[in-house]
Amino acid sequence: MTKKVYEMPKILYKYRDYKNTFNRRTLFELELFLATTSMFNDPYEGSIPFIYDPIDLTPENIFLKMRQLAIMEHPNWKEAEIQKYCFEGQSKNLLNDDKHIEQFNEQNRKDIDNTFGIFSMTIHPLNYLMWSHYGNSHTGFCLGFDSAILYETVGGSLGPVHYDTEVPKLRLFGDIYDFHLKQLATKSEIWKYEDEYRIVKSNAARQIITYPKEMIKQIYLGFKMSLSQKYKIIDFAKTNNIDCQIFEISLDKTTFKLNNLRIY
């Protein structure tokens, strides 16, 4: 999932709801919150099931897979015990058993939610729908972060979300961690308008990370934001010597689009 820093957009954007106390902390406390999949509005987040590629499910491969699992889960077993486990698993056809797979998927959902912290962004600061959904109907604000400083500060894997019509399939002998990343970086095409980039970090669920003020490069103020809220953000940037550009959003007079005017 991780792209090289020089391949990243130089600035990645995070829409925020000013009325939400925790959202305001992203700016005023210089905090990033790594959310978990259960906190997102897409029901597929963290719930993409393990579906093995059918071409891998030959009797020979299933036996070898069962052997791999036995050695990993029971390192002290003798060869006879491993063989017994493999034959029983193969005869029960567990990798094609819907009940067994659903139990496995349920545990996987819990593991993903308890393990991975996610920070979502976009490449567009003037996305009308993003302002509507994540900027509290244009009353919020949008922060533009330096992607290189962001990656250096947070770590993990950083890259674009892949949009598709089908859920990703797991290769029988594929790396499980790589598949987790694919699960967390693949969404339905219905979300394509978001043009999302996200950080996925292991062992960082619900983690709060403080970032340097130099990471803020741009701030956009929603066109429905009150003047007092706008002034508070501008004063905060000035008082803390944050070297960034501040823009005010307005509606275009002739076409259905958003304009921006630099005010600081």
Over the stretch 96-146, which tens digit does the pLDDT of each residue have? 667 767 777 788 888 899 999 999 999 999 999 999 999 999 999 999 999
Worst-scoring range by mean pLDDT, 23-27, 84-88, 237-241? 84-88
Identify the residue with better confidence: 171 or 9.
9
d(CA 223, CA 263): 13
Task: List helix spans (H) across 116-200.
Answer: 128-134, 147-154, 176-184
Asked whether 16 and 139 are in contact (CB, 8 A), the reply is: no
- Whole-angstrom distance, CA of residue 140 vs CA of residue 27: 12
Of residues 249, 247, 195, 246, the one with CA closest to residue 222: 249
pLDDT in tens, 160-187: 999 999 888 777 776 766 777 888 999 9
State the pLDDT at residue 91.
Answer: 74
Q: Which amino acid is at 249?
A: I
> 122: exposed, middle or buried (C-beta count within 10 Å: 0-12, 13-18, 19+)?
buried
Strand order in 258-262's β-sheet? 157-160, 196-202, 116-122, 11-16, 141-146, 216-221, 245-251, 258-262
Lowest-confidence region among 21-30, 85-94, 187-196, 213-222: 85-94
Contacting residues for 169 by C-beta, under 8 A, at least 6 apart? 51, 52, 53
List, in sequence order, every beta strand (DSSP E) within 99-195.
Answer: 116-122, 141-146, 157-160, 162-164, 186-188
Report the sign of the C-alpha dihedral through residues 12, 15, 18, 19, in that order: negative
pLDDT in tens, 39-97: 999 999 988 877 777 777 788 887 887 888 788 788 899 998 888 888 877 777 666 66
Taking alpha carbons only, the member of 249, 257, 14, 225 closest to residue 128 is: 257
**Where does the pLDDT of residue 202 fall: very low under 50, low under 70, confident under 90, or very high at 90 and above?**
very high
3-state secondary structure of 123: coil
Average pLDDT, the chain: 90
Going from the C-alpha of 186 to that of each of 164, 181, 242, the distances in angstroms are: 7, 9, 35
pTM beyond 0.75: yes
Torsion sign over Cα 210, 124, 149, 204 = positive
More confident residue, 71 or 217: 217
